[in-house]
Amino acid sequence: MILARLPVDEQADALRSVLARNEVLVEVLRGAAGLDLPGWYLTAGCVFQTVWNVVTGRSPTDGIRDYDLFYFDDSDLGWDAENEVIQAGERAFADLPAVVEIRNEARVHLWYEDHFGVPCAPYTSTEAAIDSFAATTCCLGVRLETNGKWRVYAPHGLADVFNLVVRPNPVLAPRAVYDAKTTRWRGQWPELTVLPWPEQA
């Protein structure tokens, strides 16, 4: 079955089925739900790379460096408040064989330019932060709701993720970030089709 050719509603179900094969990811989701963070999502590489692994017949956790847990809390932009959440996460995930990176997306604009060389306007939500990833294929987040159902945020759909296509998203991250990431990804998943950065960007 070609997952990208499923109807859209069935693609979401297929995504959940694929991600459930990564037992570490499922445990991170459960632990994150217990932290009760505002607007949280498990996002970035751990999500789409799990799909790449399953589609290409690899172990679901192959090549996944860490598990990115984003949340959004603009009530306190100080480092101490974010660090308290990070410390709580370290305790919650201490028994997992994975690195869980927790970040308050309300604070990203405070350090983004120093790290990436371009300014970043303050985000208004976790979804807005996910929208700015260097590749549209990366713009994907999942979380467990209080009723136990999965919430999937995929503003660009899931076809590229299932088809192993990496498409640039030149809205914030510079080309160098896209080039560095895609070079590393192709080393791990040579089956990827990486589309070029648009010259006008």
* Banded model confidence at residue 123, pLDDT cuts 50, 70, 90: very high
- What is the count of structural domains for the chain? 1
Is 197 inside a domain boundary?
no
- The pLDDT of residue 10 is 81
Structural domain includes residue 184: yes
Determine the structural domain holding residue 104 and report its residue range: 3-189
Contact 29, 146 (CB under 8 A): no
132 in a domain, yes or no?
yes
Instruction: Answer whether residue 156 is part of any domain.
Output: yes
Global pTM? 0.93
Q: What is the largest CA-CA distance in the chain?
A: 48
- What is the rounded distance in angstroms from the CA atom of residue 24 to the CA atom of residue 29? 9
Q: Is residue 200 part of a domain?
A: no
Task: Let me know if residue 146 belongs to a domain.
Answer: yes
pLDDT given at position 3: 61
**Which residue in this structure is represented by tokens 């308050």?**
104
Q: Would the pLDDT of 108 be above 90?
A: yes
Residue 8 has pLDDT above 90, yes or no: no
User: What average pLDDT does range 175-196 have in this prediction?
Assistant: 96
In a domain, 195, yes or no: no
- Residue given tokens 């136990």 in the structure block: 148
* In the predicted structure, residue 4 carries a pLDDT above the cut 60: no
Segment 187-195 shows an average pLDDT of 97
What are the tokens at 200? 């006008």
Residue 55 belongs to a domain: yes
Q: How far is Cα 49 from Cα 64, in angstroms, rounded to an integer?
A: 7
Q: What is the pLDDT of residue 180?
A: 96
Q: What is the pLDDT of residues 131-159, one digit of tens each?
A: 999 999 999 999 998 888 899 999 999 99
Mean pLDDT (the chain) is: 93
